[in-house]
Amino acid sequence: MTPDEIRVSAKKYRAERTKKKHHVCVCMAAGCLSAGSDVVKTALEENIEKEGLGDSCEVRGVGCLGLCSAGPLVSLDKERVLYQNVKPHHAGDIIKSLGKEPVKEIQCDLDQPFFISQKKVVLENSGRIDPERIEDYLAVGGYSALIEVLTNWTSSEVVDEVTQSGLRGRGGGGYPTGLKWSTVAKADGTEKYVVCNADEGDPGAFMDRCILESDPHRVIEGMTIASFAVGAKLGYVYVRAEYPLAIDRLRKAIQQAKKFDLLGANILGMPFSFDIEIRLGAGAFVCGEETALIASIEGKRGNPRPRPPYPAERGVRNQPTLINNVETYANIAPIIRHGAEWYSGMGTESSKGTKVFALAGQIKNTGLIEVPMGISLSEIIYEIGGGIPGGKKCKAVQTGGPSGGCIPEEHLNISVDYESLKSLGSIMGSGGMIVIDETANMVDVAQYFMEFCRSESCGKCVPCRVGTVQMHKLLEKISAGDATVDDLTLLIDLCDLVRNTSLCGLGQTAPNPVLSTLRFFRDEYAALLKPSSATAAADE
Amino acid sequence: MRTDFSKPAPPSNDKRWKMIDAAMRRYGHKPHALIETLHTVQSVFGYLDDDAFRYVAASLRVPLSKVYGVATFYHFFRLKPKGEHTCVVCTGTACYIKGANQIMKALEDELGLRAGETTPDNKVSLMTARCVGACGLAPVVVMDEEVVGQMTPDKVLERVQAWRES
């Protein structure tokens, strides 16, 4: 297919898409599916047939609609109606009510802050298109950024545009994406690679899963634009084996893109070729670290190696490799379509654009949200999230998973951007946001994360392998009430040592949950300590 | 030193080895196909055993020690067969905050098992997952591939009991 043919097809699909009077969209992402949305979808289809409405209504399986806690969700696209907790027996009423008053009993208020305070860029198609149909993606303007780039841009113009947008790595580190791209573009190498890190290992994070399940073509488009910018021929998506649905949809999307000449040899009949292979992770958190991920792509144990050299110079098979996270690639197409200036108009001085968060834990509205950078945490928790259920108080918000920290209630007015979160001892991370209520014990929380790091340490470097075990033992001792103030001092010393001497990010950040809980909830530690032998002797 | 690089014969006449061969062929029998091949073995046979290790090592020309090293490094690979039913408790942060520990404890007490073990009658395997990514439904237990959200110790025990009696 040529660019013109794609444009013509896209126009046709757009017309087909809007032809029917009513669109009943059923969320088919993993959250709603496990609540039974597939059965709901079948029931809706049966009812349309029963009522003989096949000509005017269509049921569509779509990606994540966001409010996972109220699933299964069904949305009426044109009428702007959302139904929550839909059971198969509601299907008849929903179909009968089309064109009339919505079914009040299961209607979800779309004017609540959960919906109106969000700003959707990455998730713009999520819940609107069928992720298993490339036709749907083309109909909403998909691949137009790729066509634009391939027909009218030079590779350095693409790098410049991404640089000017101010986009920073969404995997957690926040490294400027444009800078990374220009390093790989300038690097010498016989062949270069583009890698998408979809090894979403942070427990409590499901943004990448939802993006891949809801809009896989967007990631493929972003990666293809990246490969054009840096001069790569082959790309890998490294995705967790624990996400079978995401893998399945990505596989389908790659096949479809190839069929439309949007991927493979001579894309759109032009002298540019790029192919994508999927590599399955196998349940090792450390593989989210870029050098470990590269080792895993090569079929080896996921052991990290010292940097430099960075993957931008020597990555997969020792060739220059661009590694970005799923959400980073998902931002590329809109940046090209609307321009860097539009993108940098959102967010704060140093953190541009939007960020997707997975909101979970002790909060009323759990689910997937996308907000502009610079929004306050309290707005996310109390307005979008709807506050804490059961009349309880929020104690802390955990961001960044095992590498992050806990931000206490009194600091919730903080702006969500890379620097502010760092100043409180946490990190932006990939976007997991867990709300902890007043019933939780923070020493327990620290111990939970340390147990995680202990078990996920790859064992290559001593500080992390031994340090995480010892820190975990000390936390156990504190929890059991057997520790003295000397043990606490030892724990703090160990945190410092592991942080400064570990080989990779896993070890360097493993002490963060301990340090941040110590910083804000020291009294909870102190309450568990028994008097040290020295003070006990002095008392006598 | 091994000089014969011809393709080794499969460990048995089981037709399923053809699927493993196909997976390795897709990657040109290159050593970097090791993890993908082990994934295929596990999805076909359910777990990885010594025969599979030896066959994959010889076919991809990777030392047996490396194959074993990779298989034991990644949590996803199982070296023992699963029971008839599997119960996977998610231990992600959201599930932890919402009481996954109590669910795990209830199961451990009821079945007399630790995570990763199978009941002596081979009925139920108890496992844990780092995070299944369904945090909106926490706490989550995956029961025979079915993700069940908002779990409680009572609900999970009821379902496990039904398995044991079936």
Q: How far apart are CA A131 and CA A126, in angstroms?
A: 8
| Predicted pLDDT at A18 | 87
Q: Which residue of A has its CA nearest to B40?
A: A280
User: Residue B136 — very low, low, confident or very high, per pLDDT cuts 50/70/90?
Assistant: confident
- Under 8 Å CB-to-CB from B88, ≥6 apart: which residues? B127, B128, B129, B132, B141, B142, B143
Give the orientation angle of helix A216-230 with respect to helix A177-186, to 10 degrees. Answer: 50
Three-state DSSP class for A119?
coil
What is the architecture of the domain spanning A141-343? 3-Layer(aba) Sandwich (3.40)
Fold of A349-437: Ubiquitin-like (UB roll) (3.10.20)
Q: How far is CA B164 from CA A467, B86, B88, in A?
A: 42, 12, 16
Percent of chain B past pLDDT 90, that is, above it, reads 84
Shortest Cα–Cα distance, B148 to chain A (Å): 6
- Chain A residues in contact with B148 (beta carbon < 8 A): 34
- Chain B residues in contact with A449 (beta carbon < 8 A): 93
pLDDT at B78 over 60: yes
**DSSP E strand stretches across A142-201:** 193-198
Q: Which residue of B has its CA nearest to A367?
A: B136
Tens digit of pLDDT for each residue in A371-386?
999 999 999 999 999 9
Tens digit of pLDDT for each residue in A492-515?
999 999 999 999 999 999 999 999
Does B131 contact A205 at a Cβ distance shorter than 8 Å?
yes
pLDDT at B1 over 60: no
pLDDT at A144 over 80: yes
Q: Which residue of A has its CA nearest to B73?
A: A301
Task: Specify the CATH superfamily of domain B85-165.
Answer: Glutaredoxin (3.40.30.10)
Domain boundaries, chain B: 17-73, 85-165
Q: How far apart are CA A171 and CA A331, in angstroms?
A: 12
pLDDT at A535 over 80: no
A236 in contact with B at a CB cutoff of 8 Å? no
Q: Where in chain A is the domain with CATH 3.10.20.600?
A: 349-437
Three-state DSSP class for A29?
coil
Shortest Cα–Cα distance, B117 to chain A (Å): 18
pLDDT at B3 over 80: no
Shortest Cα–Cα distance, B121 to chain A (Å): 27
Tens digit of pLDDT for each residue in A391-406?
999 999 999 999 999 9
Average pLDDT over residues A271-281: 96
Shortest Cα–Cα distance, B70 to chain A (Å): 5
B22 burial (CB, 10 Å; 0-12 / 13-18 / 19+) is exposed
Q: Where in chain A is the domain with CATH 3.40.30.10?
A: 21-110
Q: How far does CA A224 lie from the centroid of its chain?
A: 20
Which helix H or strand E contains A469, and what residues bound it? Answer: helix A462-479
Shortest Cα–Cα distance, A124 to chain B (Å): 20
- Chain A residues in contact with B70 (beta carbon < 8 A): 299-301
User: Residue A161 — very low, low, confident or very high, per pLDDT cuts 50/70/90?
Assistant: very high
Of B34, B73, B96, Cβ closest to residue A284: B73
User: Residue A308 — very low, low, confident or very high, per pLDDT cuts 50/70/90?
Assistant: very high
Average pLDDT over residues B66-90: 94
Tens digit of pLDDT for each residue in A67-125?
999 989 999 988 999 999 999 999 999 999 999 999 999 999 999 999 999 999 999 99
Chain A, 416-445: which have a CB under 8 Å from a chain B CB?
Answer: 432, 434-436, 440
Preferred mutation among B24, B42, B93 to probe A, highest tally of A CBs within 10 A? B93
Tens digit of pLDDT for each residue in A334-364?
999 999 999 999 999 999 999 999 999 999 9
- Chain B residues in contact with A241 (beta carbon < 8 A): 39, 76
Does B33 contact A299 at a Cβ distance shorter than 8 Å?
yes
Q: How far apart are CA A423 and CA A425, in angstroms?
A: 6
Q: How far apart are CA B85 and CA B164, in angstroms?
A: 9
What is the architecture of the domain spanning A21-110? 3-Layer(aba) Sandwich (3.40)
| Predicted pLDDT at A173 | 84
Q: Which residue of B has its CA nearest to A359?
A: B136
pLDDT at A537 over 80: no
Q: Where in chain A is the domain with CATH 1.20.1440.230?
A: 442-526
Which residues of B lie closer than 8 Å to A, measured between beta carbons? 30-36, 38-39, 62, 66, 69-70, 73-77, 91-94, 96-98, 129-138, 140, 146-149
A279 in contact with B at a CB cutoff of 8 Å? yes
Tens digit of pLDDT for each residue in B141-164?
999 988 899 999 999 999 999 999
Of A205, A280, A301, Cβ closest to residue B73: A301
| Predicted pLDDT at A540 | 56
Nearest to A43 by CA among A93, A82, A81, A78: A93
Three-state DSSP class for A203?
coil
A325 burial (CB, 10 Å; 0-12 / 13-18 / 19+) is buried
| pLDDT, averaged across chain A | 95
A405 backbone dihedrals φ, ψ, rounded to 5°: -145, 180
Nearest to A325 by CA among A416, A438, A446, A201: A201
Of B31, B69, B135, Cβ closest to residue A206: B135
Q: How far apart are CA A432 and CA A369, in angstroms?
A: 11
Amino acid at site A484 = T
Is this structure's pTM higher than 0.90? yes
Does A34 contact B148 at a Cβ distance shorter than 8 Å?
yes
Of B74, B131, B146, Cβ closest to residue A204: B131
Q: Which residue of A has its CA nearest to B95?
A: A361
pLDDT at A253 over 80: yes
Shortest Cα–Cα distance, A251 to chain B (Å): 15
Shortest Cα–Cα distance, A312 to chain B (Å): 21
- Chain A residues in contact with B131 (beta carbon < 8 A): 201-206, 242
Does B138 contact A360 at a Cβ distance shorter than 8 Å?
yes
Three-state DSSP class for A237?
strand
- Chain A residues in contact with B130 (beta carbon < 8 A): 201, 203, 242, 283, 285, 452
Domain A442-526 CATH (choose: 3.40.1160.10, 1.20.1440.230, 3.30.360.10, 3.50.50.60) = 1.20.1440.230
Q: Which residue of B has its CA nearest to A299?
A: B32
Average pLDDT over residues A407-419: 96
Of B31, B76, B136, Cβ closest to residue A299: B31
